[in-house]
Structure 1
């Protein structure tokens, strides 16, 4: 059979040809080794009784190697060029093999359950993540996505968007009751004493303000005193008030158990409790919330914010060097990194891909399988034989090697049983 020149083969086929030659050499080497062992042990078996067992093993190994060589070779060509019946099976039945192969692939491989099982066992999301972390690929994704986003933004109706925003705000901000959840949240903060840091910060800020604003106490009390009070006494009153305020704040800052701190804790405890269980407090809080979030002014601000955001988005999306586009490239890269590491995200993405692939396979599997049949029919017999041999020939050489080993074991076993029974 004329073989395709190596230069015309694909890199994968070249690698397969090298692997096939190596395995053929290994199988032939095993046969030659058994022949050499047989020759040596045959000459020594008269003087060394154990050599007969070695001879029997080598003899069985040669028989097994030759039998499997004939079986493997008969698939692709006539052994030694002799046209033995039922040999050269592949070149003689090429078209039939192609049709059977196409039918087999269609019925056994291009099935929804098979494709689903295979894809579910393949790390699709991880490989997609590896593709996205490449900078050129991330920029391409952002460019295509920006073009789509610009088209969508220009097609959106501002009135519809405003209605949607108002509906979402009412559903998620205005209608739900905030008091009990906020009270529960405040209770957890108080239980963990996480609010102490905020209290400390408040008194620290008050101390800094007192230090920097002593003049604010001038006349704070003295202006309310009778006119007949001497001015020096009035100043003394103001200074006393300021000094006591400074001392009070310093005492609170220095003493973690100061009564003022306890008063603050008590107030916060009562507030958390009332927000959860007191209808009056809850009602007042809800009224304040509605007044803030459901006012016409807020809706006007939301509408203006949408128009501003839309104009900014359009400008940024259409500018290849905008900060948004650059940040989007970084975000796509981060998505790729998450796809490589986040198991939950991988499962979601792979579920979408698997469902789409199963749909396509079940709908078009016959058309896909026909590619195999048409391609094999266009091949000539020698080309078909070589391609199939390159695909499976290396593995078939293991049959020759296994035949050598099994034949050796069978030969020595048969000889040992016969020697034990017959002497």
Structure 2
């Protein structure tokens, strides 16, 4: 009993109402049987008293047959749910005994008559689902409703993801992947290719321009620097003269470098980059330095915090866009749904393709998984408690079954009356 599942049923208020209705109709059916019994006994008593009334026989035949019909139907109805009078008569308490078998037969019935591929395919084709879906999407509010529900789903999914797990995934996909290879050789090859393609020249140009601009605006700084390094006993005009001369030569040098593409300083910069590209690929010392630099960067607190920051930023942004009907995401979803709906309306070939896919998917599920789906019925019924299941079913259909008892009493009585009247007529004629 501990492993039995609860039998599903209505709420307690509805169940109490059904139980009251069942008992009411049971009393009515029982009362009709009692009335038939009283009528029969009364007619027999009148016969024993010698009452010559011909009508007595007709009433007696009606009540006697009514009792038989009522008792027979009472037995039949009761035998569905329990042993009549608690006597274990064979083939009674059918639902209680045959619960599991009925459940599996119901599974087979549903599978054979409802979840078969041809029937599902016919129903789906007649339903014209793509056309109806397109009409609904294009109509006012349809695409917006799809966008709203999609936004809710996206918001639920994004906020339902565990933050620590998301960080671990991003860490594995980004930081771990960056940290795996040795940085030196790839950087060297990349720099070498940039040099061959001439793409380092803009960088060199930017450096010399920056240096020249800085030099042009550094007269005061240069003069002050020279003044600090000149002996204090030197006359002030000497210090100013030296500072001015150094500044003049400095800006002359930076200007020459800036406007002369073949200046020696530019050549030295190019040689430096060439040597750096070779060292990054082949010099073990340089490679080790780069690896140490990489290790320092990748283990630093700001870098290790990047996955968490990325996920939080992506989560908050997606959540806000999914919840805001005016966001670009929601608007794009609405536009896409409406546009696709119009395409389905205007392109019969697209309608047919979508319909084929819907029918094909449903047929595939029916062919391959109908048994698994319908087996849920049998397995669920098996887990039900037999006594409780019998009581629940009786509550659902017992009220209607009591009408069988009432009809049995009336129909039996009428049948008995007809039989008696026919036999009386035959013997009277004879």
The TM-score range, normalised by the shorter chain, is: 0.3 to 0.5
Q: Which has the larger radius of gyration?
A: 2
Q: TM-score, normalised by structure 2?
A: 0.44
TM-score scaled to structure 1, two decimals?
0.45
